[in-house]
Amino acid sequence: MRSSKIRANTGCGVLIDDPNVADVSINGDKILSNNVGNSDNGNGVCVTEPVDGLSVSHSTITNRFESWGHQKYAISIVGGKNLRIDHNDLDGNEKGTISSSAQLGTYVQDGNTNSSAADPIDNYYLGSIGAFSPAGRGVASWLIPYSTLDGLGGLGLNVRRVGREWVFASDGTKNGGSALLAGTDGSLNVVAVPSSGSASPRTLSRAIIYLTRPRV
């Protein structure tokens, strides 16, 4: 769907209830004041079977503009993979914005808005997140996601995890880096890897990183 207006339905505005449905795009739509019948399970977008590939993007999903709607959540998802929920106006639904039992790490959620201070919308990303400077020559600060490979996640300067290895960029003369890594066992680990003095990037194994970390 694209640039459609879906309003005043008895139940859900959009219902996906078939496990064979895949690759669905809701983009730039207005899903307004549905669930006129006031069902406990009536939402703007209802996904009642796991779906492979769903994008809800740049849409307005709300009860705000018309008085008869009772959308409980803007979006309700029971599960799936390859999901993306981004840059939507999800304000003005009776119970909240997003109700999802999809496993974290299977979808991206970013840039959605809601005026209620009691229900801020979290952002979820997949993979490491880097903050670069144009003058940094590829060196970045990284938010490093948790991995079961080593039980660690945290913050790094010029160090990020790629698969089973740790990668260090070079600024032209140095390729060292450091990280603050925490574990689910409650440990806090400071990792400092000196530069090898090379202009080339460097890759180290997970075992080497493990050995260089003093535990707190």
- Average pLDDT, stretch 156-163? 92
Tokens coding 184: 């689910």
Largest CA distance in the chain: 69
Query: What one-character DSSP code corresponds to residue 210?
Result: H
At 78 the pLDDT is 94
DSSP 2-45: BS-EEE--SS-SEEE--TT-EEEEEES-EEES--TT--TT--SE
pLDDT at 1: 66
Q: What are the extents of the domains in the chain?
A: 5-110, 129-211
Distance in Å from the first CA to the final CA of the chain: 52
Minimum mean pLDDT range among 40-54, 100-114, 146-160, 197-211: 197-211
pLDDT value at position 158?
Answer: 95
What local confidence, expressed as pLDDT, does residue 12 receive?
98
Q: In what order do the strands lie in the sheet with 73-77?
A: 14-16, 45-47, 73-77, 96-100
Residue with tokens 């974290």: 104
Residue 212 pLDDT greater than 80, yes or no = no
**pLDDT of 122 higher than 90:** yes
In angstroms, the Cα distances linking 129 to 39, 148, 195, 202 are 40, 18, 22, 19
How high is the pLDDT of residue 164?
84
**Model pTM above 0.95:** no
Residue 213: which pLDDT band, with cuts at 50, 70 and 90?
A: low
pLDDT, tens digit (0-9, with 9 covering 90-100), for 52-63: 999 999 999 999
The first and second tokens of residue 76, run together, are 């309700």
